């Protein structure tokens, strides 16, 4: 389910999840997109696209969800931004169209056999010297060995070496960094979903067996309900919104190329030919 900008936040966990997504635009992408022709793949609810358009020469944003695109057009449609429904594996653009392509929290939603096609399509629409920026959750921080993603919408999650290898197979020079957070941010981000051997290797297989009995749509709904209950149960001190919104901000995050094993999210940069960063 897409992360969205809200007037009211249900919990500190929900707000920190938003800040984690927001950091990719403000702390990571901004320096690369000033005055450039930008494509965003997987724009979600569009708040990030709207921010990018303040700095880029123009932004084209695509998403596979028609519902998301309708929302984006209604809320953020204006000169300088084009929203289109499209699949990132088959983009409706000519070769060498964009200076920068960014795609945040998308690759984990793609079938693993299609991820190289996704990166190859990005490379096709990039101009020579163009830059790709991607983000994805850090598997090492979220999952135990052999554990499958607990998010029902994730096909596969990646670690730093996986991401680097995939980018290097398609692009030139590649750089991997991590989005790291303060001690309080990390405690909130992972406290409610802390993995244990009992949960992962006993309860989760039982849950999967139940999934074969129930319909897939019912299973997804049950998992979402369980995640909401876990968040509510583990909510960080049950803080009211006015406190956690004042307490936490983007200043609690940093990008660090040395923390890729222990980071919250992985950031990858690749270029079509020869550019240095």
Run of H or E residues at 132: strand 126-137
Please, which pLDDT band fits residue 243 given cuts at 50, 70 and 90?
confident
* Number of Cα atoms under 13 Å in the Cβ half of residue 250: 9
- Contact by Cβ (8 Å): 130, 272: yes
Total domain count for the chain?
A: 2
pTM over 0.85: no
Q: Taking residues 133-156, what's their average pLDDT?
A: 91
CA distance 271 to 173: 6
Please check whether residues 199 and 216 belong to one and the same domain: yes
Q: Is the pLDDT of residue 234 over 90?
A: no
Whether 157 is in a domain gets the answer: yes
Weakest mean pLDDT among 24-38, 195-209, 246-260: 195-209
Query: What is the span of the domain harbouring residue 228?
Result: 193-233
Please check whether residues 31 and 131 belong to one and the same domain: yes
Please check whether residues 70 and 198 belong to one and the same domain: no
- Contact by Cβ (8 Å): 136, 265: yes
Please give the residue that has the higher pLDDT: either 95 or 144. 95
Please check whether residues 146 and 67 belong to one and the same domain: yes
Please check whether residues 92 and 158 belong to one and the same domain: yes
pLDDT of residue 220: 62
- Looking up tokens 């660090």, which residue turns up? 256
Q: Is the pLDDT of residue 231 over 80?
A: no
Structure tokens at 23: 């950091």
Structure tokens at 205: 């297989």
The SS3 of residue 173 is coil
Please check whether residues 104 and 150 belong to one and the same domain: yes
CA distance 60 to 93: 10
What are φ and ψ of residue 90, in 5° steps? -145, 80
pLDDT of residue 236: 47
pLDDT of residue 14: 87
What are φ and ψ of residue 269, in 5° steps? -125, 135
Please check whether residues 50 and 126 belong to one and the same domain: yes
């Amino acid at each position: 389910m897409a992360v969205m900008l809200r007037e009211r936040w249900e919990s500190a966990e929900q707000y920190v999840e938003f800040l984690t997504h927001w950091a990719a635009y403000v702390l990571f992408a901004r320096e690369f997109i000033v005055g450039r022709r930008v494509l965003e793949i997987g724009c979600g609810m569009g708040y990030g696209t709207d921010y990018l358009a303040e700095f880029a020469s123009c932004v084209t944003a695509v998403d596979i969800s028609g519902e998301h695109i309708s929302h984006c057009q209604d809320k953020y449609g204006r000169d300088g931004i084009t929203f289109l429904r499209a699949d990132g594996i088959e983009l409706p653009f000519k070769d060498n169209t964009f200076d920068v392509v960014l795609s945040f929290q998308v690759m984990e939603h793609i079938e693993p056999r299609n991820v190289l096609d996704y990166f190859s399509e990005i490379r096709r629409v990039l101009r020579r010297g163009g830059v790709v920026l991607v983000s994805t959750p850090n598997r090492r921080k979220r999952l135990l060995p052999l554990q499958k993603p607990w998010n029902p919408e994730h096909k596969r999650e990646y670690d730093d070496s996986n991401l680097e290898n995939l980018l290097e197979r398609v692009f030139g020079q590649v750089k991997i960094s991590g989005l790291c957070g303060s001690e309080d941010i990390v405690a909130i981000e992972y406290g409610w979903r802390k993995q244990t051997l009992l949960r992962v290797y006993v309860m989760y297989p039982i849950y999967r067996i139940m999934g074969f009995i129930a319909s897939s749509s019912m299973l997804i709904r049950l998992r979402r309900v369980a995640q909401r209950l876990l968040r509510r149960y583990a909510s960080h001190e049950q803080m009211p919104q006015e406190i956690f919104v004042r307490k936490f901000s983007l200043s609690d995050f940093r990008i660090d190329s040395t923390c890729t094993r222990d980071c919250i999210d992985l950031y990858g940069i690749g270029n079509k030919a020869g550019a240095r960063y």
